[in-house]
Amino acid sequence: MRKQIVAGNWKMNTTPAEGAELAKAVAELSKETSANVSLIVAPPFTHLCSVSEALKGSKVALSAQNCADQAKGAYTGEVSAQMIASLGASYVILGHSERREYYGETSETLNKKMALAYANNLAPIYCVGEKLEERESEKHFDVVRAQIEEVVFQLTPEQFDQLIIAYEPVWAIGTGKTATADQAQEMHAYIRSVLAEKFGDKANNCSILYGGSCKPSNAKELFAKADVDGGLIGGASLVASDFIAIAKSF
Ligand code: PGA
C-alpha cells in the first residue's frame, strides 16, 4: 500500500521562536492522527535545528524547503544537502513552483539538487504543476510530463523508491482556488501513468500529494480520490489545528 502523507510547507513564515512553538503544537496534536498517516513539516533553514529538537520523540518528520545545487564551498548564501541532513531532516522539497518561477530553477539545476539530496539520504518531495495559461491552453499534461521526464526519469529505480511527488497547479497555490477533486485525480492518475512508463509497477508505490489551497474543508474530498495520497500544505500548515485536521481527512 502507498504511504499516506501530509507535509507542511511553511515557506518564508514564522520567526524561529514561533516556528518552535508551531512544531511543538504539531508534535502534540500528531498523537491524534492515524498510524497510517505520515506527517512532515518543512520550516525555513534557520529553524531546522530548533524544530528538529521540538519534534523529537514524535511521529513528525523534518524537511527542508530547498537545498544548494553544489556540495560545498564558495557559494555565498547557500545551504547544502549535507548541512540539512545533519540537522535531522529526512526530506527536502525540490522544484517548488516558487523556486522555478522566482529563482529560475530549471530541470538542469534540479537534477544536481536531486543527486545531492540522495547522496545525503534526503528523500526529495519533487513538485510539478502547470501555470494558469498552460491549463487554459490545454498544455497542462505536456508541462507536467516534461517536468517528470527531465528530472524523475534521470533517477535509478532505487532512488525512485524514495521519491515523493507533489502535484501543485500554480494557479491554485495560495490563491484560495483549489483544483476540484476530479481535476486532481485526473492529473495524479496521469502522473502515475507517466511514471509507470519508466518505472513499471513501482509507480504504484509512489505517493503523489496534492498541493494548492488544500485546507480542512476540502482535504477529505481530495484525499478520497484513488491517486491522491495526501497533501503538500502551505498556508493551512501554519495553524497546527488546521494542519492536523487535514491529516485526519483520509
Ligand atoms: P498553499 O501552498 O497551500 O498555501 O496553496 C501550497 C504549496 O505551495 O506548497
Q: SS3 for the chain, per residue?
A: CCCEEEEEECCCCCCHHHHHHHHHHHHHHHHHCCCCEEEEEECCHHHHHHHHHHHCCCCEEEEECCCCCCCCCCCCCCCCHHHHHHCCCCEEEECCHHHHHHCCCCHHHHHHHHHHHHHCCCEEEEEECCCHHHHHCCCHHHHHHHHHHHHHHHCCHHHHHHCEEEECCHHHCCCCCCCCHHHHHHHHHHHHHHHHHHHHHHHHHCCEEEECCCCHHHHHHHHCCCCCCEEEECHHHHCHHHHHHHHCCC
State how far the alpha carbon of 192 is from the alpha carbons of 21, 178, 188, 195, in Å.
Answer: 37, 21, 6, 5
Taking only the tens place, the pLDDT of each residue in 1-59 is 799 999 999 999 999 999 999 999 999 999 999 999 999 999 999 999 999 999 999 99
| Ligand 1 shell residues, CB under 6 Å | 9, 168, 173-174, 211-214, 232-236
pLDDT at 2: 94
State the closest ligand 1 atom to the C-alpha of 174, by its place in the atom list counted from 1: 5
pLDDT at 3: 96
Across the chain, what does the average pLDDT equal? 97
CA–CA distance, 101 with 96 (Å, rounded to integer): 9
pTM over 0.85: yes
Residue in the block written with cell 476540484? 180
Average pLDDT over residues 66-75: 98
State the closest ligand 1 atom to the C-alpha of 9, by its place in the atom list counted from 1: 9
pLDDT at 176: 79
Active site residues: 96, 168
CA-based nearest residue to 196, from 227, 170, 225, 223? 227
Going from the Cα of 74 to the center of ligand 1, the distance in angstroms, rounded, reads: 32
Taking only the tens place, the pLDDT of each residue in 77-115 is 999 999 999 999 999 999 999 999 999 999 999 999 999
Average pLDDT over residues 203-232: 97
pLDDT at 225: 98
Going from the Cα of 116 to the center of ligand 1, the distance in angstroms, rounded, reads: 25
State the closest ligand 1 atom to the C-alpha of 212, by its place in the atom list counted from 1: 5
In the predicted model, is pLDDT for residue 132 greater than 80? yes
Going from the Cα of 211 to the center of ligand 1, the distance in angstroms, rounded, reads: 6
Tell me the residue length of the chain: 250
Average pLDDT over residues 162-173: 95
CA-based nearest residue to 129, from 219, 177, 213, 191? 191
Task: Give the list of residues 6+ apart from residue 229 with CB closer than 8 angstroms, or none.
Answer: 2, 3, 4, 5, 207, 208, 209
Assigned C-alpha cell, 156: 535509478
Which stretch of 114-123, 136-145, 175-184, 188-197 has the lowest confidence by average pLDDT? 175-184
State how far the alpha carbon of 94 is from the alpha carbons of 98, 108, 112, 151, in Å.
Answer: 10, 12, 11, 11
CA–CA distance, 169 with 178 (Å, rounded to integer): 9
In the predicted model, is pLDDT for residue 186 greater than 80? yes
pLDDT at 62: 98
